[in-house]
Structure 1
Amino acid sequence: MRFPLLLAVASAAALAPLSAHPEVDLSAEDMLAPYYAKLERQIDLPVAPPGAALAEDTVLTRIGVGSCNHQNRSQHMWAQIAAADPQLFLFIGDNNYGDNGWAGDAALGSLRAAYAKQAETPELATFRKAVPMMAVWDDHDYGFNDAGASFSPRRWSETIFETFWGSGEEVRSRPGVYSSRLVGEEGRRVQVILLDTRFFRSDLEEMPYQRPRPPLGPYVPSSDPDKTMLGEAQWRWLEAELAKPADFRIVASSIQILTDAHDYESWENLPLERAKLYRLLAAREESGLVLLSGDRHAGGIYTDTPDEAGGEQLWELTSSSLNLAFNDTASNTAREPDPKRLTDFISEENFGLIDIDWEARTFTVALRGNQGEERASRTVKW
């Protein structure tokens, strides 16, 4: 992965340790650390509007989910989501497009400006007063399109994210922004797990240049065992989280998990890592399970029964985007046939809902459009 050259504005603070100790081999990330420490002391980072709290004993029966929200476009979807009355909303990536217009400056000026715009968005402020939120990032609010661990300003981007969303001490104490939460009472306890598929992810392998450009992405799967999606520490954390008692689990990945139908970013890019994820899910403490994803600027409901999952049928709801639709549903569905997708590939603005029926032990995943209308749904027994 190649990124625009970080401007020399950081050089005086960052290069001093290297000049004093020329024998030390420092990474660009290490060299930038003193600059960011100084910058954090000098400026006030944007902070999200105050948010509603979620009580630990809340019995969750409706959770909302969405992704791909451009800070400069209409924010009308917040009212539609609020009207659906979710008890919790999961904002699972591309929560803004702070990479748009990035000039390569080490201070990530365009990213900070995107967060500052969100901080002053009245629709978001109104929504947050009413609905508790949990958030994780994808590439555009991480700082660069398709970026992973080789994105040199990632620690500064993490500081910006954690400051804006008010991340808890556990998240702030470690690299990356992954998090989890257990909510509810015994017998009706939900665990929400938000994975960080950016901070630790190895660079992806690209297909050789060809013309015309492939219509469904530039990447090819890699079976390199040294490549990682989550990084060693996050993998250990996830295994421990899945061992906790819960009755229903929601596992959110900013990028799609089950599909093999395209060559954009997805877990298919790193098949060994996806197989590892399936094995961990199969070994979890017994519970219901649904997977969530975003990223694609289109939504759908997916299912698969991977061998590594021990025969379990897995379900995934992809919800994208809130205000940045690219195509119409008919052409997008035809463009990307997928035997694992049970619905149209819904390309107009949408958000997702997960409804839990504790008595029937079922969950329903649904996509709703920009007028709150239902576009697709499936009900699953667990």
Structure 2
Amino acid sequence: MRFSLLAATAVVTTVLAPFAAAPIMAHDDEPAQVKSAPVAVSLTPDQLLAPYYEALAQQVDMPVAGPNPALAAGTTLTRIAVGSCNHQNAPQHMWAQIASANPQLFLMIGDNVYGDNGWDADAGLESLRSAYAMQASHREFTDFRARVPMMATWDDHDYGLNDAGGNFPMRRWGETLFETFWGSSDAVRSRPGVYESSITGPEGRRVQVILLDTRFFRSDLKRAEWSRERPPLGGYVPNESLDATMLGDTQWQWLEQELAKPADLRIVVSSTQVITTAHQFEGWTNMPVERNRLLETLRQREASGMVILSGDRHAAGIYKTAHRGETMWELTSSSLNLAFGNDIERSTAREPDAARITPFFPIENYGLVDIDWKAKALTMTLKGNTSDTLASQTFNW
């Protein structure tokens, strides 16, 4: 069953046509002197497509990732693994490598499949649905998922379209596919977007994992003007507008509330990079006002340790910055099976960055976060596709 946005518009317009000239009634329920008046009907793409998606959900097979054990609320977390950028058609060898590290939790933080590859603008996002089905067919993945608790958020390629944000017309169906595949919690399913938070562990060893949604509500990016001399590090320029948003008002309020909850360590996940301003690909650097708001919001959290995790870049590194007296750390892990090369020296030199304290690794990788509760120390480690250590950094909180 295929449907275009134009067709959806025509259907809804037809359905609402009888109401467009409805009589205006007086207080006594009798027609007033003015028998009728035009009613302006302005529907969003979400509203236009809702009937179609409701029907579509009953007619197509909805891929699911398979069984996944729940993480017990009382678990003392000491090792969390993280990864991003996993192509459904590429080898799935990294799951065995991650499993060998024995993580208690795995965070899938975006581009979990590449569902926009081959998309032909159909409203049903058939290429995304097919990508999830392909991923679910991999025994390596389902075996891993059956053993290790997982939490997930999305980035653009599993949202539905490269670099897309809140104006993507098919975002609601992309959300339905995501929530169905990953078995999202009732809290996530009850609201727009896929942001989520959990707190695990006993008092004194509580870990809060906050998964942000940097897609569903995000304003359009500001593109750089075309130029023959365009710099090679991205096609966007910073948008300084006070109206531009990364998270949307509701998610911002939610984040502030989550950060006010008691926790001893917070893992804050953004699919795109936060700290770096060294490039103009996608990232919080696209919206400097929002980036500063995020850093300030994180700084004002209820007292706890904190680390930021990100992906997206098809290269990995560890970042450090100071914001109003607080040192903040970020581990970027990308990608699991879609590396762009193996020349670490060239990748590092291509993107000089004072905030990055490691080389920029363009090879397959995953990340580990190890927690030493006695020392109140956190170690971030980047691992290659044979679990060799690429880089490691420890800090105390």
SS in 2 for 1:99: coil
Q: Is the CA contact 2:4–2:122 (under 8 Å) kept in the aligned structure 1?
A: yes
Equivalence for 2:320: 303
Equivalence for 2:376: 361
AA of the residue aligned to 1:315: W
Equivalence for 1:17: 15
Structure 2, unpaired ranges of 5+: 21-39
C-alpha separation between the residues in 2 aligned to 1:7 and 1:250?
38
Q: Is the CA contact 2:5–2:49 (under 8 Å) kept in the aligned structure 1?
A: no
Q: Deviations over 1:232-271 (max 9, x none)?
A: 0000000000000000000000000000100001101111
C-alpha separation between the residues in 1 aligned to 2:7 and 2:147?
41
AA of the residue aligned to 2:329: W
Please report how far the alpha carbon of residue 19 of structure 1 lies from its aligned counterpart in structure 2 after TM superposition: 4.0
Name the count of aligned residue pairs: 375
Q: Deviations over 1:31-81 (max 9, x none)?
A: 111111111122231111111221111100000000000000000000000
Q: Deviations over 1:84-142 (max 9, x none)?
A: 11000000000000000000000000000001111111011110111100000000000
AA of the residue aligned to 1:169: D
Please report how far the alpha carbon of residue 7 of structure 1 lies from its aligned counterpart in structure 2 after TM superposition: 5.8
In the alignment, structure 1 residue 341 sits paired with structure 2 residue 359 = no
Q: Deviations over 1:191-239 (max 9, x none)?
A: 0000000000000101101125431101111111111000000000000
Counterpart selection for 1:182 from 199, 211, 215: 199
Counterpart selection for 1:352 from 367, 376, 393: 367
**Residues 120-159 of structure 1 mapped to structure 2, 5 A cutoff:** 120-159=137-176
Equivalence for 1:283: 300
Equivalence for 1:229: 246
Please report how far the alpha carbon of residue 15 of structure 1 lies from its aligned counterpart in structure 2 after TM superposition: 4.2
SS in 1 for 2:326: coil
Please report how far the alpha carbon of residue 16 of structure 1 lies from its aligned counterpart in structure 2 after TM superposition: 3.3
TM-score, structure 1 normalization: 0.96
AA of the residue aligned to 1:336: E
In the alignment, structure 1 residue 197 sits paired with structure 2 residue 214 = yes
Equivalence for 1:325: 339
Of 338-347 and 39-48, the range deviating more from structure 2: 39-48
In the alignment, structure 1 residue 243 sits paired with structure 2 residue 260 = yes
SS in 2 for 1:305: strand
Q: Percent identity?
A: 61
RMSD (CA atoms):
1.4
**Distance verdict in 2 for CA 1:24–1:12, change over 3 Å:** closer
Structure showing greater radius of gyration is 2
Please report how far the alpha carbon of residue 14 of structure 1 lies from its aligned counterpart in structure 2 after TM superposition: 4.2
Please report how far the alpha carbon of residue 29 of structure 1 lies from its aligned counterpart in structure 2 after TM superposition: 2.6
AA of the residue aligned to 2:223: E
Equivalence for 1:92: 109
TM-score, structure 2 normalization: 0.92
SS in 1 for 2:187: helix
**Residues 93-112 of structure 1 mapped to structure 2, 5 A cutoff:** 93-112=110-129
C-alpha separation between the residues in 1 aligned to 2:108 and 2:290?
24
C-alpha separation between the residues in 2 aligned to 1:62 and 1:14?
51
Equivalence for 1:59: 76
AA of the residue aligned to 1:180: S
Of 44-53 and 59-68, the range deviating more from structure 2: 44-53
SS in 2 for 1:220: coil
